[in-house]
Amino acid sequence: MGEFWQRALVYPFFMFLLALFVWLVGGAWPAVTVFAVGILLRLFSHLRNLAAFIRWLSDPDKQTVPDGSGLWEEAFSKLNKLTKQRRKDREQHTAALHQMEQATSALPEGVVILDEADRIEWCNTQAEHHFGLDGKRDIGQQITYLARQPEFVQYLAMSHFNEPLVLRGARQDDLVLSIKLIAYGSRKRLLISRDITQFERIETMRRDFVANVSHELRTPLTVVNGFVETMQDMQNLENDMARRALQLMGDQTTRMESLVDDLLTLSRLENEQNVLHEEQVDIPQLLRSVYEEGNSLSDGKHQIRLEIESEARVSGSVSELHSAFGNLVSNAIRYTPTGGEILLRWHEQHDGHLVFSVKDSGIGIASQHISRLTERFYRVDRSRSRETGGTGLGLAIVKHIAIRHQAQLNIVSEEGKGSTFSIVFPEKRRWSEIEAIREN
246-268: pLDDT as tens digits: 777 777 777 777 777 777 777 77
What pLDDT is recorded for position 118? Answer: 84
| Domain shared by 217 and 80, yes or no | no
Domain count, the chain: 4
Summarize the confidence of residues 371-376 as an average pLDDT. 82
- Count Cα neighbours of 210 within 13 Å in the Cβ-side half-sphere: 19
pLDDT at residue 330 greater than cutoff 50 = yes
Q: What is the CA radius of gyration of the chain?
A: 41
Task: Please identify, among 168, 195, 222, the residue that sits at the C-terminal boundary of a domain.
Answer: 195
Q: Dihedral, CA atoms, 424, 426, 427, 430, nearest 10 degrees?
A: -80
Same domain, 191 and 217: no
What single letter denotes the amino acid at residue 147? A
Per-residue pLDDT, 1: 47
User: Does the pLDDT of residue 363 top 70, yes or no?
Assistant: yes
Question: Looking at residues 40-60, what average pLDDT do you find?
Answer: 70
Burial class for 266, CB neighbours closer than 10 Å (0-12, 13-18, 19+): buried
CATH, residue 164: 3.30.450.20
Calpha distance 253→246 (Å, rounded): 10
Long-range pairs for 79-85 at CB < 8 Å and ≥24 separation? Answer: none
Looking at 90-249, which runs of residues are DSSP E strands?
Answer: 110-114, 120-123, 165-168, 176-184, 188-195
- Domain residues for the domain of 164 are 107-195
Provide the pLDDT for residue 226.
77
Confidence of residue 43 (pLDDT cuts 50, 70, 90): low
- Which residues are 113's β-sheet partners? 122, 190
pLDDT for 283: 92
Local structure of residue 162 (DSSP, 8 states): S
Domain boundary among 247, 270, 293: 270
Check: CB of residue 356 under 8 Å from CB of residue 345.
yes
**Angle ∠(191,197,198) on CA atoms, nearest 5:** 130
Specify the pLDDT at position 287: 94
- Give the total residue count for the chain: 440
Does residue 395 sit in the same domain as residue 372? yes
Is 126 within a domain?
yes
pLDDT in tens, 64-109: 767 766 666 677 777 777 877 887 888 888 787 777 777 777 777 8
Q: Are residues 185 and 315 in the same domain?
A: no
Same domain, 248 and 311: no
Residues 73 and 32 in one domain: yes
Q: Tell me whether residue 212 is in a domain.
A: yes
What confidence tens digit (pLDDT) does each residue in 118-145 have? Answer: 888 888 888 888 888 887 888 888 887 7
pTM above 0.75, yes or no: no
In angstroms, the Cα distances linking 23 to 38, 39, 42, 165 are 15, 17, 21, 92
> Same domain for 340 and 368?
yes
Same domain, 302 and 157: no
Three-class DSSP category at 179: strand
- Tell whether 264 and 381 lie within a shared domain: no
Q: Are residues 54 and 85 in the same domain?
A: yes
Q: Is residue 102 part of a domain?
A: no
CATH number at residue 371: 3.30.565.10
SS3 of 245-280: the string is HHHHHHHHHHHHHHHHHHHHHHHHHHCCCCCCCCEE
Q: Are residues 75 and 92 in the same domain?
A: yes
Where is the domain boundary, 251, 270, 289? 270
Amino acid identity of 187? R
User: Do 312 and 257 belong to one domain?
Assistant: no
The span from the CA of 395 to the CA of 418, in Å, is 17
